[in-house]
Structure 1
Amino acid sequence: DLIYGLTGEGYLFVYDYTNNVVTTVKKLPVNHTIWPAMDITDKGIIYGAGDDKLFRYDLDKDRFDVVAETSGWVLGFYMDKKNNKIYGTPGARLVCYDIED
């Protein structure tokens, strides 16, 4: 019963709505995150976009990785969990990245 969120300044939070408590607050090394540009895989890996980067964050291992650097993220992305892909629109292009867990 958790809700994951990412502020525009790069703070990740995890909210337990059953108990009405924020369980995690972590500053990620991004400053200008893009909404709606965050999703989480079935294995708990968080993907997000900000500072012209697509990033991956493993909450359990506290590990942050840049998946791709691309300029012009205007909107968020779509995560296709069935086919392990992320589709996004930096600028006027459509891009596709593989999800690794």
Structure 2
Amino acid sequence: MVRNAEKAMTALARFQRAQLKEGKVKERRPFLASERNELPKAEKWRRQITGEISKEVAQIQNSGLGEFLIRDLNDEINKLLREKGHLEYKIKEQRGPDSTCQRQDQKDLFDTY
């Protein structure tokens, strides 16, 4: 078993301590979009969510996945889409670019099939 003193000396632990001292801690995306009022960060999180959605859509298109994994991925995609909608509303509320009009075009794509 590795002792706590040995764990504290790993390169990752030393790197994280150095990051904390410099104040370069990676900020996590807030759980609720209403928690933050900064437009640039909201746009950054929206781009991050869009990237996550595209990765998961690419995974779900794999025909070799089982039904349960597809359902889990679908639930995760729906959660991300809901979060993206909240962020888009928050961005629009802060007088940022309105990206909700693009979603109507996406809905039309799904309705054609």
Bin of the TM-score, shorter chain as denominator length:
under 0.3
Q: Which has the higher helix share?
A: 2
Q: Larger relative contact order (C-alpha < 8 A, sep ≥ 6)? A: 2
Give TM-score scaled by structure 2 length.
Answer: 0.20
TM-score by length of 1: 0.21
The structure that is strand-richer by fraction is 1
